[in-house]
Chains A and B, each alone.
Chain A
Amino acid sequence: MTPTISVSNLSKHYKVPERDGGMKAAVISLFNRKYRTVKAVDDVSFNIEAGEVVGFLGPNGAGKTTTLKVLSGLLHPTSGMVNVLGYEPTKRSHDYLRQVALVMGNRNQLSWDLPAIDSFELQRAIYSIPLNEFKKTRDDFIDLLELKDLVNKPIRNLSLGERMKMEIVGALLHRPKVLFLDEPTIGLDVTMQRRIRAFIKEYNQRWGATVLLTSHYMADVEALCKRVIVIHHGHTLFDGELNQLVTQFSSFKTLGITLPDPEVDLSQYGEVLTRDGARVTLRVPKAKTSQVTANLLSDLQVDDLTVEDTPIDDVIDSVFTSTKEAK
């Protein structure tokens, strides 16, 4: 079966004018423009099947948003092939646009002064959604996100979290088959983030939509994505399951120890990460975990001991630092 999204050797290069500072260079640049090529995305390939929820991870400027924009048709690739639902996104055919949605956290589409319900009506007209379908979808969403009392209030009277919920509903009313989410929970409080994530998960499960999301928050990715693609400097560093990312790149475990005596020095047992009064966290190579644990318990009086995988954030960080050093 053909994949819903297929990207082959995608590259997106920008020519950026390069100029030294100072008056003289400025004048020279008027006549002789020097350019430098920035490779935002460099030879990236992947396929995504229908119904998958895939996370794009990477630091700022890694190429995540660029890739998303190419997939949604906003940017032309410099080279390579992109195919979504059988369409070439850059052609931006109306049929294509009716089946996808791009949601960027912080962008407001709904009318500020009017109740969301009015803006939803406009969305119906924009996407030519048949009336019965529209009503059912809209009411389903309102139930799922518990918005019944809020849809008739002007958007300006809602809190930030409530507004985001409305924006997401508005963005999905046409039941797109493919969803591009760029930092969907940015700026929201923890409860709101959870609600939005739950909704996206529900949307994916109920209607089998394919979801691509970029995020800074590991919690987003952990909650929603089985598969992650790690992008750095425009290249894919990793494309696979999230827990594999942890095992592949992390050869450490984190030990959390609570001692009655806060003055004890634990540096002989492993790398001390944090020290917060009586609680210390240690980083220990995986292979040595049981040995070190045994030593700790026999040498010292320990109130509490936990053994955990390295937090994914740290794994990602170490992936990027290691690649940086490797360069």
Chain B
Amino acid sequence: MRRYIDFYLATMRISILEQIQYSVANYFYMIGMITEPVIYLVVWTTIARQQGGTTGGYTVGAFAAYYIIWTLVRNMNIVFTPFGWEWRIREGQLSMMLMRPIHPIHSDVAFFAGWKFVVILLWLPLAAILSWIFKPTFDIRWMEVIVFSLAIWGAYLIRTMLLSLLGMITFWTTRVSAIFELYFGLELILSGRLVPMTLMPVWIQNLSNYLPFKWTFFFPIEALVGNLTDVQLWSGFGMQLLWIATGIFLLNIIWNFAIKQYSAVGG
């Protein structure tokens, strides 16, 4: 609908204008975040070198490529956290959002989407520096670039759905940090954040095929740096769309319950 496009554009504009002012802070955050994949990269290239240059099907250069693209995908994965929902309810911000004729989720999606544009721009020089240091090997086709560009946004939306669903829990209880920690631990293992999924034991790989995590992390990275066929690329994107649809469906249901709870108790 036209008014939603209008709203998204207006929100993204605000978000971009704001985030440009915070470029330095954004950079610091990104640099801090880069330490994680660098550590993984160093460990695995050490192993690869010990094994004669390749381990688990990845060369040193392939690992470098994986973990460098990792940094962009990780940035795309950053969305409004469940802790943010807790804050929102506690501070009364949610009430104000509920008074607007638009679902709060749209606000979140639009705001972070705008932010992502700034992040992508800021990321490019960092990627260049990392490439200069770690010498990745890239073997990229145009189709991979296209699907990758779509897949990073798919990942963003899936993770938005997942974390919003988690955030709904805060409508009923505030003692939730334990649940979230558990969730993030699982996600770490099953998404391809720790290592490429192909290095995981087979049973974990199979498990991750039925869960959304791999589609937020491993799939987008592999789309660009791996050797997926066109069929695999587009069916992977299809899986992302499927998970987004599932997320929206579940979110709608749970949201209704959450709002009933909120309007019974007042937050």
- Are both chains from one complex? yes
Tell me if A128 and B263 are in contact (CB < 8 A): no
Does B164 belong to the interface (CB within 8 Å)? Answer: no
Q: Mark B1-36, 1 if CB is under 8 A from A, else 0.
A: 001001101110110011001100000000000000
Contact A111-B263, Cβ < 8 Å, known A72-B99, A97-B101: no
Tell me if B100 and A104 are in contact (CB < 8 A): no
Interface size band for A:
20 to 34
Task: Show 9 residue pairs from A and B whose CB-CB distance is below 8 angstroms, ordered by the A residue.
Answer: A72-B99, A74-B95, A92-B98, A104-B96, A107-B93, A114-B17, A122-B14, A125-B6, A126-B10
Instruction: Known pairs A73-B99, A75-B263, A118-B14; list 7 more (Cβ under 8 Å).
Output: A74-B262, A75-B266, A92-B98, A114-B17, A121-B13, A122-B14, A128-B6
Q: A107 — which chain B residues lie within 8 A by C-beta?
A: 92-93, 96
Tell me if B10 and A128 are in contact (CB < 8 A): no
Nearest 9 Cβ contacts at the A-B interface: A125-B10, A94-B101, A97-B101, A76-B263, A128-B3, A125-B7, A125-B6, A122-B10, A102-B99
Q: B98 — which chain A residues lie within 8 A by C-beta?
A: 73-74, 92
B17 to A, closest residue via Cβ: A114
Q: Which of A48-68 contact B (CB under 8 A)?
A: 66
C-alpha gap A287/B14 in the complex (Å)? 64
* Min distance, Cβ A81 to any Cβ of chain B, angstroms: 16
Does A98 belong to the interface (CB within 8 Å)? Answer: yes
* Min distance, Cβ A252 to any Cβ of chain B, angstroms: 39
Tell me if B10 and A114 are in contact (CB < 8 A): no
Tell me if A125 and B9 are in contact (CB < 8 A): yes
C-alpha gap A127/B93 in the complex (Å)? 18
Q: Which of A190-244 contact B (CB under 8 A)?
A: none
C-alpha gap A103/B11 in the complex (Å)? 21
Q: B18 — which chain A residues lie within 8 A by C-beta?
A: 111, 113-114
Tell which of B6, B9, B96, B265 touches A14, judged by Cβ atoms closer than 8 Å. Answer: B265
Tell me if A97 and B99 are in contact (CB < 8 A): yes
Q: Mark B63-99, 1 if CB is under 8 A from A, else 0.
A: 0000000000000000000000000000011011011
Contact A126-B102, Cβ < 8 Å, known A113-B18, A114-B17, A114-B18: yes
Q: Mark B185-214, 1 if CB is under 8 A from A, else 0.
A: 000000000000000000000000000000
C-alpha gap A176/B13 in the complex (Å)? 25
